[in-house]
Amino acid sequence: MALSAEQELSVFLQLADTLHFSRAAQALHMSPSALTRSIQRLEDQLGQPLFQRSKRRVTLTRAGEIFRDHARAQLAAHARLQEALATETLAPTGELRIACTVTACHSVLPKLLARCRERYPGIHLQLSTSDAARCMQALENEQVDFAVVPEPDRPAPELRFVRLAHTELAFIAPASAAELGRRAQLGGSHWTGLPVILPRRGLERQRIDAWLQRQGARPEVYAEVDGNEAILAMVALGCGVGVVPELVRRDSPLRGRIEQVAIKRPPRGYHVSLCAKDRTLARRTAAVLWELAPAAASL
């Protein structure tokens, strides 16, 4: 059976230390002929004799002395590498970049990030906040390792998802403008000309547009904005009716200035998921965070 490079170095060093083929072979649990072949392979590779052999004794050549120092250094470096790899498996280190919405920062992520910090203190977490569509774009462009986003109905094949939470979509109206909320609740023709604030893009916008089309509703789009926080702010100011995830409405500091509108058969909600690319999860640092995610979910 062929020896590995490290095994051949160990064989050489055993002989270099004992300078006796029979004793070295016995210590290595191999036959003297196998030991001889191993040394000959090394000498052929190096193009230099490593040992001076005579009937009475074996000595190292000058090339053998130089190679002995090299072999010791190589085996020591290999041992350090194996130790580092074992340590990395048990306690990985490195940096993970996560893109998420402001809401995700204080609703679905804290439990996961706390678990990661407690179990793997060598992993440094960096968060960047934006609207969900830009978070997904940052992931696709490999500017981040993970994104916390609404899970799409038809995700790209290279993406993987772990569900962290589920949220319904909630209609909201200004607490200071009861008429807007009343018209929204009545539905049908009462939506004609109703000012609405909509997300500019993303899964929420797709679901709202589909719902409006099914209802035959023709509201007036007062504004299209990036981010649910902007929708909340504009609704609280009395600009119109909006739709936001229930997770966002429930935890918003503006909830005292808005009112939830009861709508029959509202647009369906979605899963808030941790998303990553396949190749990212091949890294041990990323894989351990991924493995922690299911236990941190609040479904």
Element housing 63 (H / E): helix 62-90
pLDDT at 99: 94
The number of beta carbons lying within 10 Å of the beta carbon of residue 100 is 23
pLDDT at 70: 93
- Measured CA to CA, the distance from residue 169 to residue 1 in angstroms comes to 65
Which CATH number goes with the domain that contains 45?
Answer: 1.10.10.10
Q: Are 120 and 92 in contact (CB under 8 A)?
A: yes
In a domain, 258, yes or no: yes
151's tokens: 């899970």
Largest CA distance in the chain: 109
Print the domain residue range for 250: 169-268
202 domain-assigned: yes
Q: Which residues of the chain have pLDDT under 50?
A: none
137 with 187, same domain: the answer is: no
126 bridge partner residues: 97
d(CA 154, CA 132): 16
In a domain, 65, yes or no: yes
Residue 54: per-residue pLDDT: 86
Instruction: Indicate if 106 and 129 belong to the same structural domain.
Output: yes
Question: Of 44, 64, 90, which residue is a domain's last?
Answer: 90
Q: What is the pLDDT of residue 86?
A: 63
Beta carbons within 8 Å of 119's beta carbon, 6+ residues apart: 288, 292
CATH number, residue 193: 3.40.190.10
Residue 18 included in any domain: yes
Please write the tens of the pLDDT for every residue from 239-288. 999 999 998 898 888 988 999 999 888 899 999 999 999 999 988 889 99
* Structural domains counted in the chain: 3
| 9-39: pLDDT as tens digits | 999 999 999 999 999 999 888 998 999 999 9
pLDDT attached to residue 88: 63
Cβ atoms of residues 261 and 174 within 8 Å: no
Residue 179 domain flag: yes
Query: What one-character DSSP code corresponds to residue 252?
Result: -
Question: In terms of domains, do 247 and 215 share one?
Answer: yes
Q: Is residue 164 part of a domain?
A: no
d(CA 248, CA 214): 25
Rg (CA), the chain: 33
